[in-house]
Amino acid sequence: MKYRRKRKPPPPPVTRDSPLKLTLGRYSYVSPPTLHAPFYADVQVGNYTSIAGDVVVLSDTTQHACVQHPECVTTFPFYENHGHAFVHHVPPAEAKPVIIGSDVWIGYRALIVGSITIGHGAIVGAGAVVAKDVPPYAVVVGNPAQAIRYRFDQETIEILLATAWWDWPEEQVLASLPALENISNFLTHLVDMRNAAVENTAREVEQPGSSRGS
Ligand SMILES: CC(C)(COP(=O)(O)OP(=O)(O)OC[C@H]1O[C@@H](n2cnc3c(N)ncnc32)[C@H](O)[C@@H]1OP(=O)(O)O)[C@@H](O)C(=O)NCCC(=O)NCCS
């Protein structure tokens, strides 16, 4: 029996049914079985973020036109089923991405509705239904998801956000791992790093080239 070589099909156009466009930052991961995005979604994830299994993302593209256009009589997507364009819809290419920051932990079976932003350091509880932006370092649970606490006080959160340790070079993150286990140690570590940098600069001014190793 002869097999004919099949021609490679052209890439499919981007539609509401196109697969998930997922951008994962450094070491960020999705646990098995998978992240579900039943319709097209552009999900942009920062560094060192953990996404548990069976998290579902419904971005703005999944909203039927009646949501953006309350004047619409029907909730039914006639534009898809009959090519009838009298109701507007958000073209997937123009849809806003879902932004998930760095050092975020999203619990099992959380449901993200809409193109929202989940701030750095936030925790989304298992099964939470998140339809609004989650502030950095908030812990949100339930339906609709509400903050039950913040992981640190406001001053510490501002320091962490300004530091953005998740964007440091990998060697620097690895060297800081012991300090990352305890917020007091980490704040001390930041002061030590700043002092070392100031000393290096002073030495550099006194003896140019000395900090490059002798
Ligand atoms: C969000 C989470 C981290 C909160 O942990 P915590 O800070 O220790 O919170 P607590 O257990 O002290 O609970 C605080 C309150 O929130 C409620 N709560 C906690 N998690 C909840 C959740 N996922 N959904 C709804 N309510 C929740 C508790 O019942 C408690 O309510 P109460 O104050 O009325 O008694 C945790 O409960 C969670 O959901 N973790 C995700 C686990 C997971 O999905 N792992 C996947 C493998 S990585």
pLDDT, tens digit, 9 for 90 and up, residues 102-157: 999 999 999 999 999 999 999 999 999 999 999 999 999 999 999 999 999 999 99
Q: Which of 36, 64, 69, 89 is an active site residue? A: 64
Nearest CA to ligand 1 atom 17: 141
In 65-82, which positions are buried (b, 16+ CB within 10 angstroms) versus exposed (e)? bbeeeeebeeeeeeeeee
Cα separation, 71 vs 125, whole angstroms: 36
53 lines ligand 1 (CB under 6 A): no
Nearest CA to ligand 1 atom 39: 125
Does pLDDT of 176 surpass 60?
Answer: yes
127 lines ligand 1 (CB under 6 A): yes
Cα separation, 70 vs 210, whole angstroms: 68
**Using alpha carbons only, what angle is made at residue 81 by residues 80 and 86, rounded to the nearest 5 degrees?**
60
Ligand 1 centroid to residue 122 C-alpha, Å? 13
Cβ–Cβ < 8 Å for 114, 60: yes
Closest atom of ligand 1 relative to the 139 alpha carbon? 1
Could you tell me the residue ranges of all domains in the chain?
168-205
141 lines ligand 1 (CB under 6 A): yes
pLDDT, tens digit, 9 for 90 and up, residues 30-52: 999 989 988 888 999 999 999 99
Cα separation, 13 vs 204, whole angstroms: 56
Cβ–Cβ < 8 Å for 140, 146: yes
Radius of gyration of the chain (CA): 23
Cβ–Cβ < 8 Å for 103, 124: no
pTM (2 decimals)? 0.86
108 lines ligand 1 (CB under 6 A): yes
Average pLDDT over residues 199-212: 79
Q: How much is the pLDDT for 62?
A: 80
122 lines ligand 1 (CB under 6 A): no
Count Cβ atoms within 10 A of the Cβ of residue 168 and give its class: 0-12 exposed, 13-18 middle, 19 or more buried: middle
